Structure 1
Amino acid sequence: MKDINYGQNDGFDPSEGLRTLGFTWTAQIDAVQQCAEEAERQLSYVSLCKSEHERKKLGSYYTPTDVADFFWRELFVQKEIFTNRDALSFLRKHHFVEPAAGAGALIFALMKRFVALGLTPDQLAELELSIVDINANALSFVEEQIESLAKNWNVVFDRVHLVRNNFLELRLDNGTKPYFFFGNPPFVGNKKELSPWKNLYADFLEKALQHIEGVGGVHFILPLSIAFSRDYNALRTAILKVGGTVCLSNFDNIPDTLFKSGKPSHTNTNKANSQRCTILTILPEGPRRVLATRLLRWSKKDRATLLGRSPEYFDVSGYAFDKQIPRPDSQAILDYLNLAADSPRLGTILAKSGRHELFVAGVARNYISLREGPANGVHALGFKSEEDFLLGLGILSSDLFLSYWLSLGDGFHLTKGNIFNFPLHHTLVRECEYNASALRKAWQARQRFQKGKLNSGQMTRSFDLTNAVPSLIGA
């Protein structure tokens, strides 16, 4: 491995993880992976005072062991790597690159996956791997762990190279093997003059895409914004141009989170929790297909179950409604969006001077929150006629609209764009007109469906008409 001037380790002993291991090399790699998770936390700090704020400013969201295991298991499923022969072929075919390695959680999880499929230490030592990071202590820890494994297994990892550098400044030469990029790039905002992208993760992804050239692959943990934000429309176009398989596993951040730390500038629970995430897989070879999960939500007690099995994927290869890659809440909403892609939008029946008003909260979770009147963070929607008002009410309070928002929203904010862009297919409009009498009665009786929530000591009251209005799923 390449020699590096690592600097000081701040009292952390990187060899501690291997001193009390058992005798089997399978147990050793598992123990190293567990050790790496603790090291991730300690080595994520670049300041001597271990400032949490400074750590987050660098976008350091290091990867828990269970997430790392899920990360590789899903990749192996997508590539149909199920046997020792499959695994060895995958290992020998690629030059693997981890552009922001941290303490190596994803590296050791990859080794563990290879071990689980029966690769021997001699075969594992064939791994061609470049480990890149700007944190000298992190690279030192990874090197210690790899050298300890090599000593215990009596092999030499002579194709593993450690590089202390900024991945974006690293020159990648064309080698004999295609690159396979994997990792958890930093999630941190860019200065406008330094990049065309708002977040640094996009620069990492863009560089990786430039070097896979129809073979190889990219497997990254990214913010959910890669799937929907207008800021990354061009990047999504580049992703889809690659061809082959594009797969997105999408994760919410409430009630449980993939990562164990949040954003530095917020004390509000929803904003301070870890990022909503997407595990993005790009495999250029093979027929074109785009797969995506719904926005997955889970409680801590269900974490092991969620991360211990493959989620349900929807085929969104033919999706044409907008420039997103959707997180389909169901096949029904995906079918509706494709059917109604060219239909008029809900915004066409809204009017600023409309005397019939509907007030909709600018955030949502399990239902679309209707309010009694105007307030901060509430969208005021005007309609010229009662017929249009009841159409808007029927749609916004429906199970179909909630499913639409879960599929195309960010999981927290309900924006005017979400509302205005909802498609009004003529069959849906007819169904709402048929339901007009029931909708009028439900609205008149809305106090029966009132809910209250305490925010900063003040009670916020809203109406949840989901179960009071006719279902529009399948309308």
Structure 2
Amino acid sequence: MSEPRDKNMGSTYYGQNDVSNAIGGFSRIHSAWITHVEAVQRHSEEAEDKLSYISECKSEHERKKLGSYYTPTDVADFFWRELFAHNKILDGEDALSFLRKHHFVEPAAGAGALIFALFKRLLGLGVTSEQLAEIELSIVDVNNNALAFVEKQMKVLASAWDVSFNRVRLLRDDFLSTDLSRGFKPYFFFGNPPFVANKKGESPWKNIYADFLEKALMHVGREGGIHFIVPLSVAFSRDYSVLRAMIMDTRGTVCLSNFDNIPDTLFKSGKPSHTNTNKANSQRCTILTVLPGRPKKLLATPLLRWSKKDRTNLLSQSPEYFDVSEYSFDQQFPRPESYAVLDYLDRAAGSPTLGSIVSKNGSHRLFVAGVARNYVSLREGPANGVHALGFESNDDFFLGLGVLSSDLFLSYWLSIGDGFHLTKENIFNFPLHHTLVRECQRNAPALRLTWKVRQRFQKRKLNSGRMTKSFDLRYAVPSLVEA
């Protein structure tokens, strides 16, 4: 292994005395190797909080400047299990072929959580420690302490296994300036790039993660691969529509596992300067896989939500992926709640939209909260963060009310929205297929009665010291999913 430039090693390391003999498993020696790596993973996770700070003063400002959201062990294990499943790496022969085929690049290594999780996955499928030591791997980070930590752990494993990682390079460098022109093997990029805003004029992208992804896309070739944890914005933001086009231009298989940030979060560090719960938690994430040379396909999960007690279950099994290769509603990678909503959007292509019946000067007013969660929140009157929608006629008002309070609209928003903000664009772009309009008209008399007694469906929530009242009609209106 090449040496990092700075030998400041940090404070906590895994030593050989921590290694215990394994029992059980498909082979005693393989189980022992896996136990070694699991011990390294535990120390890696313990060290990451300290290593996320590049400055000695442990400045939260400096950590946020770097965009340091280091990867928990359970997420790292999920990360590789999904990649191996997508890449059809099913046994030791497949794993060894994958190992020998690629030059692996970790562009923002941190304490090495994803590196050691890869080692564990390969060993678990039957790769030997001697074969694992053949890995061609470039480990890049701007943080000297992080690189030194990873180097120390690699040396401990090498000593425990009596091998040498001769093809592992540690580079104290900014990945964006790292030379990738050399080498004969195709690159396989993996990692958790920094999530931090670019200064205006420094990049065509708002966030540096997109620069990392763009560079990887430029060097992935036809035989390589990319497996990154990135913000959910890669899937829907107009700022990254060109980036999505670049991803699809690889003409292979693209997979997205999409994660919300409430009630539980993938990352254990958040944005503690914010009092707003949504901002204080770690941000929404996507695990993005790009496999050129595979059948052209786009697969995506819904926006996954889970509580802390369900975390182990969530990360120990594969989520449901929807084939959205034919999706054409907008320029997003959707987070589909069901095939029913995808079918509706496909069927309703070219239909008038909800925005076509909204009138700025319409006297029939409907007030819709600008944020949503498990239901679309209707309000009694205007307020900050509330969309005021006008309709010219009473019929149009109840058509709008019937759509916005329906299960179909909620599924649509969960599939194409960001999981928190309900924007006017989300509302106005909803297509009104003629069968749905007919169903809403049929339901109008019952909906009028429901709206008249809407106080029965009122919910109250204390928000920044003020009581917010809203109406949740989702259980009071007929289903439109099959409309």
The TM-score with structure 2 as length reference comes to 0.96
Is the CA contact 1:101–1:133 (under 8 Å) kept in the aligned structure 2? yes
Look up the equivalent residue of 1:9 and give its one-letter code. Answer: M
Q: Partner residue of 2:142?
A: 134
Corresponding residue SS for 1:435: helix
* Cα offset, 1:17, TM superposition: 4.5
Look up the equivalent residue of 2:336 and give its one-letter code. Answer: P
Q: Distance in 1 between matches of 2:182 and 2:453?
A: 68
Is the CA contact 1:18–1:31 (under 8 Å) kept in the aligned structure 2? no
Q: Distance in 1 between matches of 2:57 and 2:347?
A: 56
Residue-by-residue CA offset, 1:43-82 (whole Å, 9 max, x unaligned)? 1111111122321221000000000000000000001111
Corresponding residue SS for 2:219: coil
Q: Partner residue of 2:80?
A: 72
Q: Partner residue of 1:21?
A: 19
Q: Note closer, same or farther for the CA distance 1:174–1:20 as it changes in structure 2 (3 Å cut).
A: closer
Counterparts of 1:339-418 in structure 2, within 5 Å, are: 339-418=347-426
Residue-by-residue CA offset, 1:405-460 (whole Å, 9 max, x unaligned)? 10011111111111111111111111111111111111111011001111122211
Q: Distance in 2 between matches of 1:395 and 1:272?
A: 32
Q: Distance in 1 between matches of 2:332 and 2:102?
A: 30
Question: Which one of the candidate residues 205, 214, 227 is aligned to 2:235?
Answer: 227
Is the CA contact 1:245–1:286 (under 8 Å) kept in the aligned structure 2? yes
Q: Distance in 2 between matches of 1:469 and 1:418?
A: 21
Q: Distance in 1 between matches of 2:344 and 2:94?
A: 39
Counterparts of 1:5-404 in structure 2, within 5 Å, are: 5-10=5-10, 12-14=11-13, 16-23=14-21, 24-263=32-271, 265-404=273-412
Q: Distance in 2 between matches of 1:17 and 1:370?
A: 58
Look up the equivalent residue of 2:331 and give its one-letter code. Answer: K
User: Which sits farther off after the overlay, 48-57 or 310-319?
Assistant: 48-57
Corresponding residue SS for 1:283: strand
* Cα offset, 1:215, TM superposition: 1.7
* Cα offset, 1:353, TM superposition: 0.6
Q: Distance in 2 between matches of 1:264 and 1:300?
A: 19
Q: Distance in 2 between matches of 1:325 and 1:216?
A: 22
Is the CA contact 1:329–1:403 (under 8 Å) kept in the aligned structure 2? yes
Q: Note closer, same or farther for the CA distance 1:93–1:450 as it changes in structure 2 (3 Å cut).
A: same
* Cα offset, 1:84, TM superposition: 0.4
Q: Partner residue of 2:27?
A: none
* Cα offset, 1:213, TM superposition: 1.6
Is the CA contact 2:8–2:148 (under 8 Å) kept in the aligned structure 1? no
Is the CA contact 2:300–2:335 (under 8 Å) kept in the aligned structure 1? yes
Look up the equivalent residue of 1:86 and give its one-letter code. Answer: D
Is the CA contact 2:195–2:207 (under 8 Å) kept in the aligned structure 1? yes
Q: Distance in 2 between matches of 1:394 and 1:18?
A: 65
Q: Note closer, same or farther for the CA distance 1:264–1:189 as it changes in structure 2 (3 Å cut).
A: farther
* Cα offset, 1:18, TM superposition: 3.7
Q: Partner residue of 1:2?
A: 2
Q: Distance in 2 between matches of 1:314 and 1:324?
A: 14
Q: Distance in 2 between matches of 1:456 and 1:264?
A: 17
Runs (5+) with no aligned partner, structure 1: none
- Among all aligned residue pairs of Structure 1 and Structure 2, give the percentage whose two residues are the same amino acid: 70
Corresponding residue SS for 1:461: strand
Q: Distance in 1 between matches of 2:131 and 2:221?
A: 27
Look up the equivalent residue of 1:19 and give its one-letter code. Answer: N
Question: Which one of the candidate residues 452, 460, 473 is aligned to 2:468?
Answer: 460
Q: Distance in 2 between matches of 1:174 and 1:319?
A: 38
Is the CA contact 1:53–1:264 (under 8 Å) kept in the aligned structure 2? no
Q: Figure out how many residues of one structure are paired with residues of the other and give that number.
A: 473
Look up the equivalent residue of 1:372 and give its one-letter code. Answer: E
Is the CA contact 1:360–1:368 (under 8 Å) kept in the aligned structure 2? yes
Residue-by-residue CA offset, 1:183-236 (whole Å, 9 max, x unaligned)? 000000001211000000000000000001222000000000000000000000
Write out the 4+ residue segments of structure 1 that deviate beyond 4 Å after TM superposition. Answer: none
Look up the equivalent residue of 2:9 and give its one-letter code. Answer: N
Q: Note closer, same or farther for the CA distance 1:187–1:200 as it changes in structure 2 (3 Å cut).
A: same
Corresponding residue SS for 1:342: coil
Look up the equivalent residue of 1:261 and give its one-letter code. Answer: S
Is the CA contact 1:56–1:264 (under 8 Å) kept in the aligned structure 2? no
Corresponding residue SS for 2:302: strand
Q: Distance in 2 between matches of 1:261 and 1:156?
A: 34
Residue-by-residue CA offset, 1:122-148 (whole Å, 9 max, x unaligned)? 110111000000000100000010011
Look up the equivalent residue of 1:4 and give its one-letter code. Answer: P
* Cα offset, 1:265, TM superposition: 4.6
Look up the equivalent residue of 1:267 and give its one-letter code. Answer: T
Residue-by-residue CA offset, 1:95-148 (whole Å, 9 max, x unaligned)? 000000001000000000001101111110111000000000100000010011
Is the CA contact 1:17–1:35 (under 8 Å) kept in the aligned structure 2? no
Q: Note closer, same or farther for the CA distance 1:265–1:348 as it changes in structure 2 (3 Å cut).
A: farther
* Cα offset, 1:341, TM superposition: 2.4
Runs (5+) with no aligned partner, structure 2: 22-31
Is the CA contact 1:398–1:470 (under 8 Å) kept in the aligned structure 2? yes
* Cα offset, 1:261, TM superposition: 1.5
Q: Distance in 2 between matches of 1:459 and 1:313?
A: 39
Question: Which one of the candidate residues 443, 448, 466 is aligned to 2:456?
Answer: 448
The TM-score with structure 1 as length reference comes to 0.98
* Cα offset, 1:337, TM superposition: 1.2
Q: Distance in 2 between matches of 1:112 and 1:96?
A: 15
Is the CA contact 1:18–1:145 (under 8 Å) kept in the aligned structure 2? no
Is the CA contact 2:140–2:170 (under 8 Å) kept in the aligned structure 1? yes
Q: Distance in 2 between matches of 1:315 and 1:2?
A: 43
Corresponding residue SS for 1:293: strand
* Cα offset, 1:176, TM superposition: 1.4
Corresponding residue SS for 1:210: helix
Q: Distance in 2 between matches of 1:31 and 1:438?
A: 62
Q: Distance in 1 between matches of 2:444 and 2:402?
A: 8
Look up the equivalent residue of 2:421 and give its one-letter code. Answer: H
